[in-house]
Amino acid sequence: MALERPDPGATKAEAPPKQVALAMEQLTEAARIIADIRVGADRFLEALFVAASAPPSARPIHLIQGEESAMQENLQKLRLI
């Protein structure tokens, strides 16, 4: 009795549903993180604009640092996906 071996040259047309669902979840999570990064970039640029137009003693450095930290965290999450 000979065992049938799959043809190594043949490719499967469809991925298993579980893999497709997992990939879709990862894409959705990546899309959310990318949206967070875009919002963070807007906030970061706004903080830079405010800092540039404020007197040196009143520059909101904490805002810039906070936005930079949030963006770094989101970029790290995106790398982990």
Residues 37-75 pLDDT 10s: 999 899 888 888 887 887 776 667 787 888 889 889 989
Q: Give me the percent of the chain exceeding a pLDDT of 90.
A: 31
Quick check: helix, strand or coil at residue 60?
coil
Alpha-carbon gap, residue 59 to 61, rounded angstroms: 6
* Sign of the dihedral through C-alpha 40, 41, 46, 48: positive
Residue that is written with structure tokens 């497709």 in the block: 20
Classified as helix, coil or strand, 10 is coil
Q: How many whole angstroms separate alpha carbon 43 and alpha carbon 50?
A: 10
pLDDT-derived band of residue 36, with 50, 70 and 90 as boundaries? very high
